[in-house]
Chains A and B, each alone.
Chain A
Amino acid sequence: MKKTQQILTLVLSLGFIAVFAAWFWILPDADESTVERRHLAKCPTLSFSSVANGSFVNGFENYMLDQFPLRDGFRTLKAAANAKVFMQKDNNGLYSVGEHLSKLDFPTDFDSVDRAAQRFRYVYDAYLRNSGTKTYLSVIPDKNVFIASPNGYPDKDYKAIVKRLENGFPEARHIDISGLLSADDFYYTDSHWRQERILKVADEIADKMGTERMGKCEKHDAGVSFYGVYYGQAALPHAPERLFYLDNAVIRSLKVYNAETSSDIPVYDLSAAAGRDPYEMFLGGARSIIRITNPNAAKERRLIVFRDSFGSSIAPLLTAGYSEITLVDIRYISPSSLGKQIDFTKTDDALFLYSASVINNSETIK
């Protein structure tokens, strides 16, 4: 090694380390990462016990990783190296097909499907079996169903999941919506479906439940650039999307009550659209119990929807034929306590509406 090469090596390498080390200590700590949608670790408290039990060390390592200068840029560098140098087809499980980003979700976990069926049957046996309620089941094919297998990516077996769930929960009548959807009905950078594209699904469900369709809606732009949850995880550049919502006289008249906070909330919260998770603009996002009242319903008819986050955007489109819809997310509330908060004797219809992804990873269902 020549002397100039030696000097250049030391100046560049040690300089790089020294600059980033100094930058890390000088840089004020950030509270959260917008693109990753999470709070960033803070410097742990130094004490004898925290050092002895290892919590300080673990906390400090996480703190350095989270607060490192140019963190997002480094994550992009890693994702680019992974894709362009090693030509790996996914980065931390995230892959892209055309404009679509998605997360690998395989193999099919039949134990998980059975568990979901068992939890649904528990709800049915406890509250619905003797109340004369008609019960329906629909499994939303997530984006992977449309883009994974055709492009060589492994995926869970959607059809097998539906069949297994139907067999495990025979009391519910299955509503097949898989033929109505395609990849473009989902956001490019998010797992969820686009509300402006699922009116056909809501109509199909309404038809199968023997109730009124929503009818024509106006499409509105929420006025924000939408980056979905996969955008931050993928750490690669991607164009933003528009976030649209559907509206008409029926939807505008709806009253929404959040049982968690005992307060009224809007159907579409446009301020949430500009927040950390824009999809929360639909009925406030993840909530355990939401009650929607339709004062203009032609007759009294009540529906309970057991749902995951996909249910937030479709629920307003199901309201035309019902005077009241209750949305229940049993990932956030134990089914055993539902009887205290919901009068099941007045329920005409019950719909279990879950994405295949949640059914295949049902450990979140209580």
Chain B
Amino acid sequence: MLFSSITFLYCFLPCVLLVYFVVPDRMKNLVLLLASLFFYGWGEPKYLVFMFAAVAQSYIAALLAERFRGTKIAKLALAVSAVASLGLLAYCKYADFFIGNFNAVTGLSIPLLKVALPVGISFYTFQILSYVIDVYRGDVPAQRNFVDLAMYVAMFPQLIAGPIVRYSDIAGSLKNRKTTLADAAEGITRFSVGFAKKILLANSAALLVSEFKAYGEKTVLFYWLYAAAYMLHIYFDFSGYSDMAIGLGRIFGFRFSENFNYPYVSASITEFWRRWHISLGGWFRDYLYIPLGGNRVKPIRHVFNILVVWAATGFWHGASWNFIFWGLLYAVLLLFEKYILHPKRRHAVPMHIYTMLFVVLGFVLFDSTSIADAFMSFKSLFGLAGIPAANTASLYYLKSNLILLIIAALGATPLPKRIYEKIGGTSGGSRVLAVLTPIATVASIAVCTAYLIDGSFNPFVYFRF
């Protein structure tokens, strides 16, 4: 089920809220678990089996790792759990990639498995891995209540597109939590912000992207429009989903970590990755980069570590070479900044231009169907592909989407938040906002409902990861 669907907002959510807040505290986790299983099984019930198997193996592995800490059995439990988690992910997500490449190299024609990717498997696999590793390390106690562990993994607000919630971050809340009036109000407000980001901005930008792809007569202008629209689409799509997840979590008494911090104001690639998909970056840092030695190693080993981590980051996003090269592009840029550029604040404007240029080119690579397609796009963006600078259609799309792109570009900066805080900082302003904020929240829900009913473009990009 999608957050951004009428079914979720007007069927699923009211029922879950009603039952959740009526039942006694000891039943709340069970209610959330059952609701989450229904949420996940809606449309793809067969994949509940995968999830149940993943939760069950991590439950047993964590108990064994804790019970036999410091022994080979604990190591074995961790290894078996990691192999099972990654094996399931590899089978569902990467099997055909490896078979296809093996066929290409050897000339064989081993048939592809064509396994459908269970929604959200990349996210919940990483959550399970972090849980078992944390228990193995002794950072958190193993969860003895199967329902609570299953609820942590399956919790619908963050189940299918993150943020990747660490068990250690919500272990306390799993046992004991309260939803205050402020939690509920701020949660629904945050949800409505994410809802608007997704429906009004991400989906509208995605329409421009799909129109670009459907239209045969490309121009340089149209390529830049596409690149800008895709960059804004992916940000508002994913950060909108994260906002909705954080808001819903808040309503149920959980505090999820922030996943985005205005990445498009970054003045370096290093800064960009501190602000973009923070939970994924943190995961790779703690469970891959640091175990490899991080930066406290010789430079050549550090280069190796960075390349491995960013190839893995790219590969996590999809079983395709363009994702791997996308990750490696960032590895090269991060190493360039670390060893050569040494970004400085006083060069903020040129550094910001440099950063955004590579971010936008990165997303063009990310969205490409092949490496050749990506290079064709790069050539087209810089007028080297022999296509016209503009035509009637591309000028039309520019005029028709200019306000959208401006609103989205401004919305991707902290400016709206600063204005809101500045107005709220005065006594008169705070009284106005006390009335306007609730009205804006409900207006946002109403307008987004209108966009959904009109049946426009709606899939979440990060579902496929």
Q: Which residues of A contact B (CB under 8 A)?
A: 1-14, 16-18, 20-21, 24, 51-52, 54, 57-58, 60-61, 64-65, 68, 71, 74-75, 77-79, 81, 85-90, 92, 106-107, 149, 152-154, 235
B23: interface (CB < 8 Å): no
Contact segment of B303-311, B319-327, B369-377, B443-451: B443-451
In the bound complex, do residue B451 and residue A78 qualify as a contact, i.e. CB atoms below 8 Å apart?
yes
**For the complex, what is the distance from the CA of A225 to the CA of B404, rounded to whole Å?**
36
In the bound complex, do residue B42 and residue A57 qualify as a contact, i.e. CB atoms below 8 Å apart?
yes
Nearest A residue to B392 via CB reads A154
In the bound complex, do residue A21 and residue B216 qualify as a contact, i.e. CB atoms below 8 Å apart?
no
A74-B454, A86-B403, A88-B404 given. 16 additional CB < 8 A pairs? A5-B437, A7-B185, A8-B435, A9-B438, A12-B439, A13-B441, A52-B45, A65-B455, A68-B10, A75-B453, A77-B447, A78-B447, A92-B456, A107-B216, A107-B393, A149-B392
CB of A124, distance to nearest CB on chain B (Å): 30
* Chain A residues within an 8 Å CB radius of B439: 12
* Chain A residues within an 8 Å CB radius of B454: 74-75, 78-79, 92, 235
Interface of A is mostly: helix
In the bound complex, do residue A68 and residue B6 qualify as a contact, i.e. CB atoms below 8 Å apart?
yes
Which 6 A-B residue pairs are closest in the complex by CB-CB distance? A6-B185, A78-B450, A89-B400, A77-B450, A8-B438, A9-B438
* Chain B residues within an 8 Å CB radius of A90: 400
A7, A86, A153, most chain B CB atoms within 10 A: A86
Determine which of A16, A24, A86 lies in contact with B204 in the assembled complex, contact meaning CB atoms within 8 Å.
A86
CB of B173, distance to nearest CB on chain A (Å): 20
Nearest B residue to A18 via CB reads B14
Contact with A along B182-209 (1 / 0, CB 8 A): 1011101100100000001000100000
Interface of B is mostly: helix
CB of B333, distance to nearest CB on chain A (Å): 34
Given contacts A21-B14, A65-B6, A65-B455, contact A74 B450 (CB under 8 A): yes
In the bound complex, do residue A6 and residue B181 qualify as a contact, i.e. CB atoms below 8 Å apart?
yes
Q: Which residues of B contact A (CB under 8 A)?
A: 5-7, 9-11, 13-14, 17, 42-46, 181-182, 184-186, 188-189, 192, 200, 204, 215-217, 392-393, 395-396, 399-404, 407, 430, 433-435, 437-439, 441-442, 445-447, 449-456
* Chain A residues within an 8 Å CB radius of B42: 57
CB of A190, distance to nearest CB on chain B (Å): 21
**For the complex, what is the distance from the CA of A12 to the CA of B185, rounded to whole Å?**
10
Determine which of A8, A17, A54 lies in contact with B44 in the assembled complex, contact meaning CB atoms within 8 Å.
A54
In the bound complex, do residue B188 and residue A13 qualify as a contact, i.e. CB atoms below 8 Å apart?
yes
CB of B404, distance to nearest CB on chain A (Å): 5
* Chain A residues within an 8 Å CB radius of B433: 5
**For the complex, what is the distance from the CA of A52 to the CA of B10, rounded to whole Å?**
23
**For the complex, what is the distance from the CA of A86 to the CA of B189, rounded to whole Å?**
22
A-B contact number at CB 8 A = 143
**For the complex, what is the distance from the CA of A74 to the CA of B452, rounded to whole Å?**
9
Nearest B residue to A71 via CB reads B453
Determine which of B10, B200, B434, B452 lies in contact with A5 in the assembled complex, contact meaning CB atoms within 8 Å.
B434
* Chain B residues within an 8 Å CB radius of A14: 17, 188
Nearest B residue to A91 via CB reads B454
Given contacts A16-B445, A20-B10, contact A9 B437 (CB under 8 A): yes
In the bound complex, do residue A1 and residue B182 qualify as a contact, i.e. CB atoms below 8 Å apart?
yes
In the bound complex, do residue A61 and residue B449 qualify as a contact, i.e. CB atoms below 8 Å apart?
no
CB of B29, distance to nearest CB on chain A (Å): 22
* Chain A residues within an 8 Å CB radius of B10: 17, 20-21, 24, 64, 68
* Chain A residues within an 8 Å CB radius of B407: 86
**For the complex, what is the distance from the CA of A18 to the CA of B445, rounded to whole Å?**
12
**For the complex, what is the distance from the CA of A75 to the CA of B447, rounded to whole Å?**
10
| Cross-chain pairs A/B with CB under 8 angstroms, 17 sampled | A1-B437, A9-B438, A10-B181, A10-B185, A13-B442, A51-B45, A52-B45, A57-B42, A58-B43, A61-B5, A75-B453, A75-B454, A81-B450, A88-B400, A89-B400, A106-B393, A152-B396
* Chain B residues within an 8 Å CB radius of A89: 396, 399-400
* Chain A residues within an 8 Å CB radius of B17: 14
* Chain B residues within an 8 Å CB radius of A107: 215-217, 393
Nearest B residue to A3 via CB reads B181
CB of B232, distance to nearest CB on chain A (Å): 13
**For the complex, what is the distance from the CA of A98 to the CA of B45, rounded to whole Å?**
51
**For the complex, what is the distance from the CA of A321 to the CA of B432, rounded to whole Å?**
75
**For the complex, what is the distance from the CA of A134 to the CA of B439, rounded to whole Å?**
69
CB of A289, distance to nearest CB on chain B (Å): 35
In the bound complex, do residue A17 and residue B404 qualify as a contact, i.e. CB atoms below 8 Å apart?
no
* Chain B residues within an 8 Å CB radius of A85: 403
In the bound complex, do residue A154 and residue B192 qualify as a contact, i.e. CB atoms below 8 Å apart?
no
**For the complex, what is the distance from the CA of A71 to the CA of B456, rounded to whole Å?**
14
* Chain A residues within an 8 Å CB radius of B14: 17-18, 21
In the bound complex, do residue A12 and residue B400 qualify as a contact, i.e. CB atoms below 8 Å apart?
no
In the bound complex, do residue A68 and residue B453 qualify as a contact, i.e. CB atoms below 8 Å apart?
yes
**For the complex, what is the distance from the CA of A3 to the CA of B182, rounded to whole Å?**
8
* Chain B residues within an 8 Å CB radius of A51: 45
* Chain A residues within an 8 Å CB radius of B445: 13, 16-17
CB of B202, distance to nearest CB on chain A (Å): 13
Determine which of A17, A52, A61, A152 lies in contact with B46 in the assembled complex, contact meaning CB atoms within 8 Å.
A52
